[in-house]
Each structure stands twice: as C-alpha cells, then as structure tokens.
Structure 1
Amino acid sequence: MDAQSYSTALADLRTVRDQIKKIRAALTKQEADRDKLIIQLASYPKAKAERIAPAAGLGVADVVALAPALAPDSLAVNDALQPAAEPSTIQATPEAAASPPQQAAAAPAMATAAARPVPPPPARAEPAAPKTPAAAQTPRDLPSIPAGANGDAWLAATPGLASTRPNFTQQARSTVFLDTTTGVLVHRHQTHHLDLADRSAADLLTAVFHTISEGVERIYITAGDPWHRDADRHPYLRDAVAAWLNGPTPGWRTDTGRGRDRMAGHFVHARNPVGRYQRDNSDHHVEIRSVGEWFDVDGDDPATVRDAFVLLWQALRRHWPDAVLMGSPSQTGRDLWTRTIPQRGQHAEGFPVLSEELRGLLHATAGQGRNELITPPRVPEQLPQLVEYDRTFAYAKHTWKSPVGTPRRITARTFAAWSEKEQMRALYGCGHWQVRVTVPDGWDHVGLLPAPAPGDRAWHYPAEGGTTFTTWAGGPEIHTALTNPLTPWKIEILDGILWEDGKPLDDWAKKLKETWTNLFAQAHFQGDAQQARAAHLASRAVRAILLYGIGSFAQRPRMVTGTTPRTLERDVPPDAEIIGFDDEQITWQKPTGFSRDPNAHPEWAAAIWSGARAALLTQRHRDDNTHAGALHTAPGSVVAFRTDALYLTQPQSWPYHHQPGDYLLRGHLTGPVTAPTTEEELLMLRDTGRAALTAEREA
C-alpha cells in the first residue's frame, strides 16, 4: 500500500465510522421504543413476561428487569445474607501474620446482581477511607459457600461419576477439505473442483456428495466462511450463521446425535459454527466445520491443510497408538487425556467429579485469561513504542501440578489458627480462596488480582492505592500478591477450598509438549516449503488441543439452541433467550445446567488459568537467574494484557529458549503511537506491529 492508497483508505474508514454512529443512534432509539412498549404492555392485568419476551426478542429476565411487576413466582430471590466467618489477614512478615484478625462484614449474596447503569463514584470524604474499585458501584456479587451442613455437602463428589480410562477405540471419520471461495475440494490424495452455486448448506452437501458418493462424515471449510454469505442482511453475525445452518437442506435433516463422541443439533458460533446433518431415511451423518477451530489459515490451500492434519495425526500416534483426530481440538484433547488415566495405582478407579454446586461456584468465580486494556492517563496518550510479547504455548507450563480428589473447606477461623508455615504451604498448594484485598497506598503499577466487574466485563483488576474489594482467586495469584517484587498487598482470607496436590494432567501435557516440539522443529528445518507450512499449522493444532482441552475441563453450563416458527412464537420456551429471527422463524437458546459429564474438572482449568495469570505478572527463569513479566517493567509501561500476551511501551531483554511459557517477541511498532482505547484499535496495532517486525527481520 502506498501513501495515496493509505490516505484514501483512511477517508473510507472515517465514512464507515460515521455510518456506524448513525446506525447505532437509530438502534438506540428503536431499543428505547421497544422498552416503552414493554412497560406499556405490563400495565395490562393479564400480561405475562413469557408472552412478551419472544415478541420483544428478549429473554424473560430482560423483560422482568424493565417491568418488575411481571416477575413470576419462580424468579423470587431470597435476599437473606449468610453470616460471614471471621477473616484472617495475611501479611508479608511474621509480625503481621500474628496480628489478630479483623471482623468481617456480611458475606456476598448468592445471587448475581443484574447489570444496570453505573452511577459516578462519590467524592472521597476522607483520604483514609477505603475505596471501592473504579466504576464498581454496582458490582456483581460472587457466590459464597453456605455455612454449616449445607456448605459441607458441596464438597462431596457427585455420586457414581468419575473420569475413567475408556475401554473402546475411537473410530476415525472420513474427512474432506473444501475451499468455498475457489470450490477446490481435497479428499485423501485427490483434488476436485466443485460448483457450489450460492454456497448454502444444501449446495455444499449436494456438491460434495455428487463428487464423492459415500463415506464422507466430516467437511472442513478451509476458506470462504459460507455461513457469512448473507451477513449484510442480518444485524449480527450469529443471526447470519443461524440462518445458514437452519436453511432448507432437501434430503437432509438436523442430526439428532449418535455414538459416544457425537453431539446433537447445530452449534451456532459467529466464527466457527458446526452444522450437523443426517440424510433422510438413512444412518449417514455428516458435520460441516471450520478449520479455524484448529488454527488460523493464511491463504493456505486445502491440500496444505490436509497435510497438516496428516502430520498432526502421525505425530500424536507416536505417543498414543490409538489416537484419532476428532471434530474439534477440545474433543480430541479430552479423548487423548482419558487414554492417559492410570490403569493401576492410586487413580486407577478414576478421578471423582465435584458436586454440581462446587462446579457452579468455580464457574462463577474462576475466570480464564486476563484481558485488560490500560488507557490514558494510566499510560501516555502517545506511546513511544508498542511491543508485543507472547508466552509460547503458555498453558503447557502450568500443568505439572493440579488438584485431585475431593477438597476440604478451610474457613477463616481454621486458616487463622494455622502457623505461618502452614498458611504459606496452603497458599502454595492447590486451592481456591475467597479473600478481601486491599491495594497498598501509593501503588503505581498494574492490578494483581481480579475483581468482579459490573456490566459486560466479567473481571477487572483494581490498581488504585487504598482500594478494597472481595473476590475469589487461586493460590498462584494470592502468593504473587503477597510476595510481588514491589510492595506486598494485604490479603484477608474469608473462606477457601483446598485439594491434595496431584499430577492428573502431567503425562498428557508432556506428550503434547513433545509432539509440539517435534512439529515445531519440522516447520523450521523442513526443506519443502509446503511441508514446512503444514508442520507449522500442525504445531498450532497441538497448541489448540491443549488450550481447548483444558477449557473443556471447565465444563460450562450447557446451552441448547432451537428454532420455532414465527406463527408459533408462544411456544418459545419461557426461559429462552432470543438470539435471532427472520420472517419465518425465531432462533433461541436456553441454558440446561451441567450435564453428567464424567470428565468435568473445572478445578483443573481454574488452577491452570490462575497460574497463567500470575506468570503474566512475574515468572522466574531459573537457568538465566532472572525474572520476566509485567511487574518487571517500569510503571506506566504496560498497555494491555491479552490472555497470554503483554503489550508494552518498551522492549525487554527477557530470555527466550523456545520453551513453553517463554516470552516471545511477536510485534514491534516504533512510535509515536496513539494509545489504543478499544480492543479493535489494539488488534489493529497488533497486526501492524507484527507485520513491521516481520519486515524488519526479512530486510
């Protein structure tokens, strides 16, 4: 792109920006009109929220929030607060640890507060008064464990449910790779050119099975994103995807599921949806999936993608003789893990699954990656540089120790009664802790612990000195807050869950790390350019297997997606959320809670995520006798955290040895650079910085 093209594109971008502003203003007015109509309808004595919700395209809870009088009896909330246990204050010195504990306020309510407009923070009356986190006057209330026998019951395992080694062999699925832009289809070692007509699901199925008459069970889309073909006709990408998946497919119907590894129905996702179909009057099932679940494709043809999957399968077979590539990396990861469960010894009978209540607590209180954009005035409006460091294969570094068995509850009183050595041993162990946190006065760096945030953001990281908040956090983060290289934070233990230390993921992760190392080496030393690229994609797929395999252990509450004809909209389930609609049908989704999944282990995912967030702040490189991470940079130099990446205003001399967890320089943009204020701006700068670093290295 030359200077003239750059200026022209900027002008076009400004025009699009202005159009977006107008559309948003119109949408805001329409939403206000909708809300007025809902309130007007609520004045009718026989009005019901479950009737109004589908007509408004909202969930029942949203309608009740606008018109509380419509609340059904089942939505009544018990506002009684649990009495809090006496907290224990943890300090960095023995003298502080021996000080008497302070009295706690009432424990957080069990219900989650509804998102609502946040009023401006009140003026500070006294400098010494504790401050609540910024923009958190209506924070989400995190759940607590009930007192007494009710809480004790949460710690019991789910009866008759445990992770055990499978006694069957997975069946491979016949797979093809299709570029819907060019129509190129690769099946094994054959290449075909298809006419995909208007790229509907029906056209894809017809063209593929006209060319390959039988046997295909999985179609990977490598390019073209056909589910976005009518994106301009829908307000959101999810609507366009839902319409594409649910379009007419003569001769086929929506798959209802079969076998141990099959899921019923379509999966609506804005970028990587899954279409599941079954041929009429036949037992023939087929999936349409995106290769984007496994790795990012950058213009790679279907043959290269096919080669990547072959290399991945061959590399995994060196460690798992019965390895099979399943539809997604998360399915593959969990299946491979089950084949590392010991056949004899301590855990030969399996790993017990936590109670549904405790899984729900972890789901609500254990966030995943840290995603935070730090904006002016905490960083300069004009950044001297923007440097991106990405932790290589980051989660693989935090799988060596994980919680096992059923946990025990550690109350504030129990914790306070322990010696300092016992307390620190517990915080080094596999635990999840409810704490009251106080940021030290004069603190001038990034926040260390996640706090529940109102609105759309699940978590934020208070950093202003004197701020006090209550949250849940894992042992690695608590330990980092207490021993950070700048100033120890004040931590009060309110409650906790402590497991035995174990290694349920160690063998699985080691095998994946060895597979990744092998493919990474092939990508760098392979003489054939296409095979080198295929090896690189395969190494990225191994990363996805571990990353999404860990995420699948978290086992979020399941969502069911369905459709209802517009003429029967009163049949939409009353607890469903409307996610799309057109002239003929309504698309909705509703939660169904936790399934009886024998491989649900949110305690493992929570421990790994906590360790990864702590390593973004500080991690030691023993071989180099040095440290890396955000806390080892100058105050005001951290621009953003993004899962396992740091964005800084200054380059660092951190060691990189191609090992999991090492900080790799991914992008470098010389300044001055206008500080990003939105995620979109950050991602644009990220891509520009990566391109600039690549060009610099190739020069």
Structure 2
Amino acid sequence: MDAQSYHAALTELRGVRDDIKKARAALAKLEADRDQRITQLARHEKAKAERIAPAAGLSVADIVALVPALAPHSLTEGEALLQPAPPGTTGPPTTGTAESAPGTHPQPVAPAPPAVPSSAPGPAEATPVTPPQAPRTLPSIPEGNTGDAWCTHTRSLASQRPNFTQQARSTVFLDTTTGVLVHRSQTHRLDLGDRSAHDLLTAVFHTLPEGVERIYITAGDPWHRDADRYPYLRDAVAAWLNAPTPGWRTDTGRGKDRMAGHFVHARNPVGRYQRENGDQHVEIRSVGEWFDLDGDDPATIRDAFVLLWQALRHHWNDAVLMGSPSQTGRDLWTRTIPQRGQHAEGFPVLSEELRGLLHATAGQGRNELLTPPRVPEQLPQLVEYDRTFAYAKHTWKSPVGTPRRITAATFASWPQKEQQQALYGCGHWQVRVTVPDTWNHIGLLPAPAPGERAWHYPADPGTTFTTWAGGPEIHTALTNPLNPWKIEILDGILWENGKPLDDWAKKLKDTWTNLSAQAHFQGDAQQARAAHLASRAVRAILLYGIGSFAQRPRMVTGTTPRTLERDVPPDAEIIGFDDELITWQRPRGFSRDPNAHPEWAATIWSGARAALLTQRHRDDDTYAGALHTEPGSVVAFRTDALYLTQPQNWPHHNQPGDYLLRGQLTGPVTAPTTEEELLALRDAGRTALTQPAGEA
C-alpha cells in the first residue's frame, strides 16, 4: 500500500467510525423507546414478563431486571440448579439428544447471550438503570434426613462396559474456501455454490454418490457467511443450519449412541441431516473441535486423523474416532471399565440432587485477570506459562463408592489426623473462609460472584466468605507456603479414593507421548505436522472427555411462529428471532445418562486449580506455581495457563503438568484490563518467543 492509498483508507475508516456512532445513537434511542413501552405495559394489572419478553425480543430475566415487579413466581422460588452453563475456553462442548416440544424443531444447544445486542450508552436520560447484581448464594444440603437422602445413587443407572463394537463412519475433509475435498487417498475440487448446507451436501454427494456419513470442515466456516446480518455469530450459525435443504431434513438420530438435531455453537456447530427417504445420514462438523489449525490443508488433517486412530489402536483394539473428542473420550473410557473384580458391575450414577449440587458449586478452570492496582500499570514483562497436558496430571485418584455426608459436627468430632486425611481425600466441602490479616498475594479459593456460574477469588486481608471447594484446594489453602488460611467446615461430601480413570488416562498419556515424539523426530514436514495435530487431538479427547462426565442440565430449544407468540413456553429464554420465527430455549433438568459422573470432573478441576497455585516437582526437589512468585507479579490465570511479570526457573521435562514457557513479551507492557487485551498480548508474546534473535 502506497502513501496515497493509506491516506484514502484512513478517510474511509473515519467515515465508517461516524456511521457506527450514528447507528449506536439510533440503537440507543430505539432501546430507550422499547424500555419505556415495557414500563408502560407493566402498569397493566395482568401484565406478565413471559408475555412481554417475546414481544420485546428479550429474555424474561431482562424484563424482570427492568421491572422487578413482573418477576414470575417460578423465578423467585430458587431454580438455580436448572440454569445452563455459559459458553467459554474452560468447558467442553455439550452433546446429547434434545427433546422436542410440540410444534418445535429440536436442537441441542449451548446457552447463548440475549438476541438483542447491547450498545454503547446513549444520552444519560435514555439509559435504563440496571440494578446492581448481588453475589450468588450457593445451594446447601438440606438439614436432617432430607439432606442425608441425597447421598445415594440413582436406581438402575450405572456406567457399564459396552457389549457392542462402535461402528466407524465414512469421513471426508472439506476446505470450503478452496473447495478441496479429501476422501481417503483421493482429492477432489468442488463447486460449493453459495456455501449453504444444501449446496455442500449436493456437491459432496454428487462427487461421492456412494455417500459419506461425516463431513469435517477444515477451513472457511461456511456457517459464518452471513455473520454481518446478525447481532451474534450464534444467530448466523442457527440460520445457516436451519436454512431449507431440499431433499434433506434434520436427522432424528439412530444407533446406540443416539444423537439428534443440530448443535448450535458459535464456532464449532454440528449439522445433522437425513435424506427425506431416510436411507442416508450425514453430519457436517468443524475440525476445530479437535485442534487449532494454522492454514493446514485437508490432506494433512486427514493424515492427523489416521495417525490418531492408529495410535489409539495400540491400546484399544476396537477404538473408533467418533464425531467429537468428548464422544470419543467417553466411549474409550467405557471400554476400560473392568470386566471382572470390584467394579465389573459398573460405576453407579449419583442421585440427581447431588449431581445438581455439584453442577452449581463445582467450577471449572480458573479464569481471572488481575488489573491495576493489584499489578503495575506498566508491566516489566508479560510471561506466559502453560501447564502441559494439565488435566492428565490429576486423573490418578477419583471418587468411588457411596458418598457420605460429613456434617460440621461430625468433622469437628474427628481427631486432627482423620480431618487431614478427609481433606486430602476425594471430597467436596462447604466452608467458611477467612483471608489472613497479613495476606498480600492472590486469592486461593473460588467464591460465587455476580452472574450465572461466575467465580472470583477474594484476596483482601480479613475477607470472610462462604463457598464450596474440592479437597485439593482446601488442603492447599490450609498448607500453603506463605500463611495458612482459616477454614471452617460447614458441610461436606466424602467418597472413597479410587482409580476409575487411571487406566484410561494412562493409555491416553502414552498415546500423546508417542505422537509428540513422532512430531519431534519425523523428517517429513507434513507428517510431523500431522503427528503434532494428532497429539493435540489426544489432549482434546482427555480434556473434553472429562468435561462430558460433568453432565450439564439438558437444554431444549425450539421455534415458534411470530404469529403464535402466546405459545412460547413461559419459562423459555428468547435467544433469537426474525420476521417469521422466534427461537427459544428452556432448561429441562438432567437426563438419565449412565456416564454422568460430575464428581470425577469436579475432583480433577479442583486439583488443576490447586496446581496453578503450588505444585511439587519431586525429581527436582522444587516447587512451581503462582504462590512461588513475588506478590503483585501474577497478571492472569486462564484454565491451565499462568501469566506473570517475570520469568521463572521452573523445570520442564515434557511431562503432564509441567509448566512450559509459551510466550514472553519484553516491557514495558501496559497491563491488560480486558480479556481481549490479554489475548492480544498473549499472541504477541508467543510470536516474540518464536522469532529468531534480531527480528522485530
């Protein structure tokens, strides 16, 4: 670009800036008008939030926030356990079979933001006042026999070893930018038309008339083709999946691992289609579920899947790669359930009450950004450490057996040694926590924060809060190398220590080690890259396999014609709409999933969060983690990554859990205040670390 073009582009950019400003002002005016109309409607004696919400294009919660008097009884009587988990980098993709309501189109979905985007604040008089959010109150176990009855298993529901062989599905890899399709050893170039789902299916089945069952999109993200027409990516994805596909209809599922309907996700959706005559089924999926790509062609990605399958076959002679890493991970785990011995009958599923309690009180990865004045406004450096294959480090011990409730009185009656053993074991504890008066470092235990399923980590001296936490974190808070925290046990659940995941995790770790070695020593660049991608896929199998044990409450989504707004379920959240249809979602509780074990996921997540604070390296006789850094030097946590203001001399032997230096940005660096700023600095730091000396 020459200087003249540069200045012309700047002029055009300023014009776009002004248009955005005008659009935001217009939107703010419309939103103010909408809110005023809602307030007027609320004056009607029979006004109901569930009737006003679809007319306004908002959720019931948004209406209630604007007019608290309209809060329905069902929202004020505490249904917190049935609320969905928000989308994020720490949790796994939701899978399962949706239930359909009469006159609706079923789709398994991930929870979404409201369909109407927020805007920059308009004039002061036009900006509605939103009541400040109070911290969530976490649920407790009921007193007496009612609470004791929670500590059981669900009758006739247990994880058992399958008695069938999983069937492989014919798979192709398609780059929708170039039209390149790879099927086994053949490469084709397709005309994909306008890249709609119908045009993709038509082109693929014309080229391969014998049919395929799974189409992995490797590049192009065709579901984002009309993203500029929608306020959220998720709306664009839903429109792409639900667009007419003559000759095809939404798949209703088949087989023992029954999956039905489309899965609406902003970046990794799943389209499931079935021929009108019912004789062909096909999935359109994103390969981004398995690993991040860097311009890799479909042939390299095919080779990665082949290497992955071959490596898994060394440990599972019936291994099959399923559509997603979470499905694959859970299927492989079931094939490690013992055929004889103590757990040959399987692993029973907890009561629905305990599963709900764990869902509401056991968070996932720690994601926290520390901003000035807790860190300097100008950082001397920004250094990123990422725990290698982190969750694999914490699978050696998991809860088994019938859970026991440990009340405060019971715990207090135990001798100190028994108390320590309990806290070091597999337990989930309700505690009252007090930060020491002399504390000057980061927070150690998660506490509920405003917002659904949000967590923060109090660190101010003298702060007292009540929360739930796993044994590894409680033990760390009591024995940390700086100053023990005061912990009061209020209630708890304790299991026997077992190893239900150990065999599965060891096999995956061995597979990961072998593929990582191939990537390092392979002389052919394409095969080395394929081996690296395959090793990342193993990580995803374990990571998302663990997440799938958590089992979220089911969400049902449906559509209702705009002319029938009265038929939108009263407890539904409006997640999208157009001129013809309203799209909504509603919670439906837990399914009878035989592989639901949130106690395993919670234990692993707790162990991983504790290891971000302190982790012993026995062979090196040293420790690593945030508590072994100077106060004020921790900038952020992101699941299994730690961002610091100075480098550390921590050992790395390429073993699960080791801290790997991933990025380093020399200062001064302006401290990030938003996640977007942190991610931009992270990418710059990774680039700087890999650049040869002398390059800028």
The answer to whether the superposition gives a TM-score over 0.5 is yes
- Cα separation, 2, equivalents of 1:10 and 1:690: 30
Whether 1:252 and 2:248 are equivalent positions in the alignment is: yes
Report how far residue 260 of structure 1 moved: 1.9
Unaligned runs of 5+ residues in structure 2 are 80-130
- 2:630 counterpart (624, 629, 634): 634
- Cα separation, 2, equivalents of 1:583 and 1:193: 37
Whether 1:331 and 2:313 are equivalent positions in the alignment is: no
- Cα separation, 2, equivalents of 1:32 and 1:67: 14
Range with greater deviation from structure 2 (189-198 or 567-576): 567-576
Structure 1 counterpart SS, 2:38 = helix
Q: Is the 8 A contact 2:133 2:451 kept in 1?
A: no
Mark the CA change 1:17 to 1:141 in structure 2 (over 3 Å): closer, same or farther: farther
**2:657 corresponds to:** 661
- 1:162 counterpart (154, 158, 165): 158
- 1:354 counterpart (346, 350, 368): 350
Paired amino acid for 2:290: W
Structure 2 counterpart SS, 1:593 = coil
Report how far residue 38 of structure 1 moved: 2.0
**2:125 corresponds to:** none
Paired amino acid for 1:297: L
Q: Is the 8 A contact 2:216 2:285 kept in 1?
A: yes
Report how far residue 16 of structure 1 moved: 7.6
- 1:593 counterpart (581, 584, 589): 589
**2:45 corresponds to:** 45
Q: Is the 8 A contact 2:478 2:487 kept in 1?
A: yes
**1:411 corresponds to:** 407
Q: Is the 8 A contact 1:618 1:631 kept in 2?
A: yes
- Cα separation, 2, equivalents of 1:150 and 1:323: 43
CA-to-partner distance for each residue in 1:385-434, whole Å, 9 max, x for gaps? 11000000000000000001221000011111111101100000000000
- 2:380 counterpart (366, 381, 384): 384
- 1:269 counterpart (265, 269, 282): 265
Whether 1:518 and 2:514 are equivalent positions in the alignment is: yes
Q: Is the 8 A contact 2:363 2:453 kept in 1?
A: no
Range with greater deviation from structure 2 (54-63 or 289-298): 54-63
- Cα separation, 1, equivalents of 2:482 and 2:7: 45
Whether 1:364 and 2:365 are equivalent positions in the alignment is: no
Q: Counterparts of 1:661-680 in structure 2 under 5 Å? A: 661-680=657-676
- Cα separation, 1, equivalents of 2:640 and 2:257: 30
- Cα separation, 2, equivalents of 1:251 and 1:504: 46
Report how far residue 24 of structure 1 moved: 5.4
Structure 1 counterpart SS, 2:154 = coil
- Cα separation, 2, equivalents of 1:337 and 1:19: 54
CA-to-partner distance for each residue in 1:436-472, whole Å, 9 max, x for gaps? 1111112111100001001367000011101111000
Paired amino acid for 1:522: Q
Structure 1 counterpart SS, 2:166 = coil
Q: Is the 8 A contact 1:242 1:587 kept in 2?
A: no
**2:211 corresponds to:** 215
Report how far residue 551 of structure 1 moved: 0.3
- Cα separation, 1, equivalents of 2:161 and 2:57: 45
Mark the CA change 1:499 to 1:575 in structure 2 (over 3 Å): closer, same or farther: same
Report how far residue 172 of structure 1 moved: 0.5
**2:647 corresponds to:** 651
Q: Percent identity?
A: 86
C-alpha root-mean-square deviation of aligned residues, in Å?
2.4
Whether 1:181 and 2:177 are equivalent positions in the alignment is: yes
Paired amino acid for 2:52: I
Report how far residue 364 of structure 1 moved: 0.5
Report how far residue 4 of structure 1 moved: 12
- Cα separation, 2, equivalents of 1:690 and 1:12: 33
CA-to-partner distance for each residue in 1:348-380, whole Å, 9 max, x for gaps? 111110111110100000000000000011111
Structure 2 counterpart SS, 1:541 = helix
- Cα separation, 2, equivalents of 1:210 and 1:324: 27
- Cα separation, 1, equivalents of 2:6 and 2:477: 46
Report how far residue 564 of structure 1 moved: 2.3
- Cα separation, 2, equivalents of 1:576 and 1:210: 41
Report how far residue 491 of structure 1 moved: 0.6
- 1:427 counterpart (423, 426, 435): 423
- Cα separation, 1, equivalents of 2:146 and 2:497: 26
Q: Counterparts of 1:14-413 in structure 2 under 5 Å? A: 26-77=26-77, 138-413=134-409
Mark the CA change 1:137 to 1:231 in structure 2 (over 3 Å): closer, same or farther: closer
Count of aligned pairs between the two proteins: 644
Report how far residue 20 of structure 1 moved: 6.4
Mark the CA change 1:76 to 1:449 in structure 2 (over 3 Å): closer, same or farther: closer
Whether 1:462 and 2:458 are equivalent positions in the alignment is: yes
Unaligned runs of 5+ residues in structure 1 are 80-134
Q: Is the 8 A contact 1:520 1:536 kept in 2?
A: yes
Paired amino acid for 1:63: I
**1:559 corresponds to:** 555
**1:84 corresponds to:** none
Mark the CA change 1:512 to 1:8 in structure 2 (over 3 Å): closer, same or farther: farther
- Cα separation, 1, equivalents of 2:586 and 2:520: 46
Mark the CA change 1:13 to 1:658 in structure 2 (over 3 Å): closer, same or farther: farther
Paired amino acid for 1:646: L
Mark the CA change 1:653 to 1:7 in structure 2 (over 3 Å): closer, same or farther: farther
Whether 1:613 and 2:609 are equivalent positions in the alignment is: yes
- Cα separation, 1, equivalents of 2:11 and 2:661: 32
Report how far residue 621 of structure 1 moved: 0.2
Paired amino acid for 1:677: T
Structure 2 counterpart SS, 1:557 = coil
Whether 1:489 and 2:485 are equivalent positions in the alignment is: yes
Report how far residue 312 of structure 1 moved: 0.4
Range with greater deviation from structure 2 (30-39 or 417-426): 30-39
Report how far residue 28 of structure 1 moved: 4.6
CA-to-partner distance for each residue in 1:10-54, whole Å, 9 max, x for gaps? 999999888767655654544443332222212223333332221
Paired amino acid for 1:48: K
**1:97 corresponds to:** none
Q: Is the 8 A contact 2:553 2:591 kept in 1?
A: yes
Report how far residue 566 of structure 1 moved: 2.2
CA-to-partner distance for each residue in 1:244-267, whole Å, 9 max, x for gaps? 010011111111111122321111
Paired amino acid for 1:473: A
Structure 2 counterpart SS, 1:216 = coil
Q: Is the 8 A contact 2:360 2:453 kept in 1?
A: no
Report how far residue 136 of structure 1 moved: 9.6
Paired amino acid for 2:364: Q
Q: Is the 8 A contact 2:59 2:575 kept in 1?
A: no
**2:126 corresponds to:** none
Q: Is the 8 A contact 1:162 1:350 kept in 2?
A: yes
Paired amino acid for 2:499: K
**1:571 corresponds to:** 567
Report how far residue 685 of structure 1 moved: 0.5
Report how far residue 63 of structure 1 moved: 2.8
- Cα separation, 2, equivalents of 1:614 and 1:309: 34
Structure 2 counterpart SS, 1:353 = strand
Whether 1:450 and 2:430 are equivalent positions in the alignment is: no
Report how far residue 283 of structure 1 moved: 2.9
Structure 1 counterpart SS, 2:391 = helix
**2:110 corresponds to:** none
Report how far residue 592 of structure 1 moved: 1.5
Report how far residue 594 of structure 1 moved: 0.5
Mark the CA change 1:78 to 1:682 in structure 2 (over 3 Å): closer, same or farther: closer
Structure 1 counterpart SS, 2:327 = helix
- Cα separation, 1, equivalents of 2:626 and 2:619: 20
The TM-score normalised by the length of structure 1 is 0.88
